[in-house]
Amino acid sequence: MAVIWLFWLLRVLPVNSDISVKCGTKTMELSILLCPVYYGGYNESLMSLNAQYLKAECHGRADWSVNPPVLKFSFPITEEGISITQEVGTGHFSDYSSVQSVNISGIIVSVDPSAGTITYRQELMYLFSCRYPLQYLINNTDLSVLAVKDNNGSFISTLSMQLYEDGNYLKHLKIPEGGLKLKTKIFVEVKATNLTERFNVLLDRCYATTSPFPINSTSYDLFVGCNRDGQTMIIANGGKQEARFSFEAFRFVEHKNMTVSVFYLHCATRLCEKAICPSLLPVTEPPLRSRSRYLDMALHLAHRTHQPLT
């Protein structure tokens, strides 16, 4: 009898493999195996999100069309469910004094309708959480996350970079086959769409490289914080859900024997809470020294390929 009782306790306690979590940019989706729920003496109507049994939207939907059958929950990401954590940057972000992440957590728990002074049912409890890093590396055709190893969520799909040829940001830049003329003004916008209004877009650094894989390649900073190249203008940064700047087309010195100088544009971007963004903006500094001083500097960074500027 003791052996049977021990088996019962072990079987009804949920394990990590009983639940799967999908961390989206607008919603979170959970799937819980139904067999352990029924084995524990419950059914789908007795399971709810955060013990909100009286709210219909906090109950899941049984999906018997899959094998094994699951109980599915889907709920929007709201302001109330978001918490922000801050820590000192490490790894690729070791230069950051403050790195933020969004954390969303909750619980799916059972209710025992027959419970009185005692019960013969073991309570079922499924804890879940999603972590969304708020630091990204963006270029004009491709997006990649830096130094994020967990398999949780990402707001990277809400971010995009666009190039424009006018200061009103209405006409997209079309690069001719023969390249742009030197000193052509290029207007850049990094924008968040379909994202909670709690966050703004802040550009920490934007730079150009001579290679889409800039390991051992030349790199030139257009700006780092407020320290900028003399031809770079920071138009908007950290105050809205779009950040804007402009710079003038140039050639890398190492391309002096080439008809067209090709370079690749990247921006290290973070999403920051509106109240926090002002504290992350650096103190204004003078422009960077002349471009020729920095053209031959090589930085060793790794990220994915993207469309060049010429």
* 277, 179: one domain: yes
Helix (H, G, I), strand (E, B) or coil at 111: coil
- Out of 69, 99, 133, a domain closes at 133
Distances from the Cα of 123 to the Cα of 19, 69, 171, angstroms:
16, 20, 60
User: Could you give the residue ranges of the DSSP H alpha helices within 13-151?
Assistant: 34-39
- Out of 82, 116, 133, a domain closes at 133
Burial of 290 (0-12, 13-18, 19+ CB in 10 A): exposed
Backbone angles phi, psi at 295, to 5 degrees: -60, -30
* Residue-number span of the structural domain to which 241 is assigned: 135-299
In the prediction, which pLDDT does 188 show?
A: 94
In the prediction, which pLDDT does 99 show?
A: 73
* 179, 217: one domain: yes
Cβ atoms within 10 A of the Cβ of 300, count?
9
Q: Residue 16 in contact with residue 31, Cβ under 8 Å?
A: no
Asked whether residue 305 is domain-assigned, the answer is: no
Dihedral sign, Cα of residue 227, residue 229, residue 234, residue 237 = negative
* 150, 294: one domain: yes
In the prediction, which pLDDT does 37 show?
A: 92
Average pLDDT over residues 246-274: 85
Asked whether residue 310 is domain-assigned, the answer is: no
Q: Residue 34 in contact with residue 67, Cβ under 8 Å?
A: no
Asked whether residue 158 is domain-assigned, the answer is: yes
* 55, 117: one domain: yes
Q: Model confidence over 87-122: pLDDT tens digits?
A: 776 665 666 666 778 888 899 999 988 867 777 788
Backbone angles phi, psi at 21, to 5 degrees: -125, 130
* 129, 165: one domain: no
> C-alpha 41: how far from its chain's center?
40
Q: Model confidence over 46-81: pLDDT tens digits?
A: 999 998 989 999 999 999 999 999 999 998 887 777
User: What is the identity of the amino acid at 100?
Assistant: Q
Contacts 24+ apart (CB under 8 A), 57-64: 60/30, 60/32, 60/108, 62/34, 63/31
What is the number of structural domains in the chain? 2
Distances from the Cα of 241 to the Cα of 20, 50, 71, angstroms:
31, 31, 36
- Out of 116, 133, 150, a domain closes at 133
Asked whether residue 306 is domain-assigned, the answer is: no
* 193, 248: one domain: yes
Asked whether residue 145 is domain-assigned, the answer is: yes
Q: Model confidence over 289-306: pLDDT tens digits?
A: 333 222 222 222 222 223
Q: Model confidence over 7-46: pLDDT tens digits?
A: 333 334 455 678 999 988 888 899 999 999 998 889 999 9
Q: Model confidence over 178-217: pLDDT tens digits?
A: 888 889 999 999 998 888 788 899 998 898 888 776 567 7
* 111, 155: one domain: no
* 88, 149: one domain: no
Asked whether the predicted pLDDT for residue 261 surpasses 50, the reply is: yes
Asked whether residue 162 is domain-assigned, the answer is: yes
